């Protein structure tokens, strides 16, 4: 470990901003920028600490959901939609042999999320014809559960950094 850690440094920057720089700022524009920076520094600290695991958990939740949707598409003859998902799931998502950066993880999770978005659009288009099919309904509920999980995970990176921490701008 390199000491001080990245989190240590960020916390020190935030404290210096708050105790040294902000009291010296008199203009509204400068004060506004300073408080925004403080919030975002806390947010970045949280992301350094937690975002990697959140992204891994998200990918672990997205992959089986996509696989279930692909099976449904295949079962109802939506061959192209099924093939697109299967191809996406078959692609290696992270670099092999090197430690993935947060950008790598975010990119990999984002690609899966993109596939889920495309699949959801297709499911919505099929609602008129398949909206009463039990598996269709189950998948739509599963997607909503996935969305709820996403929101809750995202809140871990937002609430402690911003909520109750003063003016935003």
Minimum separation from the CB atom of position 97 to another protein (A): 27
Q: How far is the CB of 1 from another protein (least distance, A)?
A: 28
Look up residue 117 and give its two tokens: 């978005």
CA 124 – CA 130 distance, rounded (Å): 9
- Half-sphere CA count of 143, side-chain side, radius 13 A: 20
Token digits of residue 108: 């990999």
Closest C-alpha among 88, 79, 141 to residue 115? 88
Select 3 or 108, whichever has its Cβ closest to another protein. Answer: 108
> Cβ 149 to another protein, closest distance in Å?
9
143: closest CA among 79, 54, 66? 66
Q: Which residues are near another protein by CB under 8 A?
A: 28-29, 31-33, 35-37, 39-40, 43, 110, 113-114, 116-117, 120-121, 124, 127, 143-144, 146-148, 150-152, 154-155, 158, 161-164, 166-169
At residue 161's C-alpha, the angle toward residues 155 and 167, to 5°, is 115
Taking the complex as a whole, the smallest distance from the CB of residue 125 to another protein amounts, in Å, to: 10
138 vs 169, beta carbon nearer another protein: 169
């Amino acid at each position: 470990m390199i000491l001080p850690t990245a989190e240590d440094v960020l916390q020190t920057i935030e404290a210096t901003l708050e105790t040294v720089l902000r009291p010296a700022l008199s203009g509204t524009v400068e004060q506004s920028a300073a408080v925004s920076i403080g919030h975002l520094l806390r947010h970045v600290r949280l992301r350094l600490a937690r975002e990697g695991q959140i992204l891994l958990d998200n990918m672990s939740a997205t992959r089986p959901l996509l696989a279930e949707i692909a099976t449904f598409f295949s079962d109802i003859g939506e061959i192209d939609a099924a093939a697109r998902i299967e191809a996406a799931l078959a692609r290696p998502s992270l670099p092999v042999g090197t430690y993935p950066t947060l950008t790598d993880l975010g990119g990999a999770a984002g690609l899966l999320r993109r596939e889920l978005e495309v699949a959801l659009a297709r499911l919505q288009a099929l609602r008129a014809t398949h909206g009463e099919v039990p598996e269709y309904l189950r998948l739509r509920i599963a997607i909503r559960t996935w969305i709820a999980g996403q929101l809750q995970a995202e809140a871990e990176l937002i609430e402690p950094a911003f909520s109750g921490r003063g003016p935003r701008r």
